[in-house]
A = this chain, B = another copy of it.
Amino acid sequence: MSKFWEDYPQIVEELDNVNTLIKKRIQTREKYIEESILPMVEGGGKMLRPAFLLLAGKFGNYAPEKMQNLAAVVEMLHLATLVHDDIIDEAKLRRGCETIQSKYGKEYAVYIGDFLFCQCLLMLSEYDYTTENMRDLSKAIARICMSEIKQYSLRYAKNMNLRNYIRIISGKTAALFAMSFYGGAKETQCDEKLARLLGKIGYQIGMAFQIIDDLLDYKGDTALLGKSAQRDLKRGYYTLPLIYALEKDKEKEIPQILASCSFTNEEVEKIIQLVQKYDGLTKAQSVADRYVFKAFENIKKLPDCESKEVLSVVIPKLLQRRY
């Protein structure tokens, strides 16, 4: 696990338990399964979704075992989507390790992702979770899939716009963040109003998190991020900084380069310069800031407790990743 939670030993302990649950689930007769998934589990992710689910759960009647199991489910779901995303993106690195698709082949990665999905279903069926939570979780995953499909279908699209971008990231990232907060609260019998407030916070954090992630693609450095810089651009995913820059680029300098659909490194450099010239980064950052601001306004409304304090400290740390 990453050092992100190191100031909170109790959360670290609980997340360790979550990881232990995941590790148990990937032990099967087929040794390859464990061997291929383990590096991801041990690869130093921040485990944001399970941590948020546990923190939200602490606003209600917290039952550690049941909640950690549900936290393991959201993390495994996230892992499953990563394994499949890496196939689509032909990604070589993930959390600093070689991806499953790169090491074992795309075919194998398809089944490993499916296996993780199945284990989630199995874990859900072993505890008596609320029907509501089952439904919300299913909806969140369905939204992730649909958004990935939308994103994929809009590669290199000339009509990519703010509206499509917001729809894609709210599905592919914010939905599972929102579900982690909301589901954690619902499972511990928080009242609907509080659960919704937490869900909203999750959504806003998720949106800010993804926009900042997309920003980093225009500034990022492989060593720091553990993934290839400017990856999105080369794959034809036009994200917020580019969308804003395109709006201001009346001379059509950027569209001329984009027209080729496969960019040399020099062309990528040129696009990045133009995105800066046309204020793409600043404007995207200001959208992220707005989501962060809204999340904070909502965190203030939460009832006082340890979880609230943790969120107040951890969220800024998370969202100020301006490497």
Contacts and interface: CB of A to CB of B under 8 A. Distances in A.
User: What number of copies of this chain does the assembly contain?
Assistant: 2
B88 A145 contact: no
Interface stretch (A10-18, A24-32, A271-279, A315-323): A24-32
State which size class the interface on A falls in: 35 or more
Given A114-B113, A145-B115, A122 B138 contact: yes
Contacts of A114: 81, 84, 113, 117, 145, 148
B121 A141 contact: yes
B87 A152 contact: no
Contact of A110 (B28, B30, B84, B146): B84
A152 B111 contact: yes
A111 B32 contact: no
A122 B140 CA distance: 10
B118 A149 contact: no
Interface string A124-135: 111010010011
14 contacts: A30-B146, A33-B149, A81-B114, A88-B110, A108-B152, A111-B145, A111-B149, A112-B149, A119-B142, A121-B141, A121-B142, A122-B139, A124-B134, A128-B131
Interface of A: 28-30, 32-33, 81, 84, 87-88, 106-108, 110-115, 117-119, 121-122, 124-126, 128, 131, 134-135, 137-139, 141-142, 144-146, 148-150, 152-153
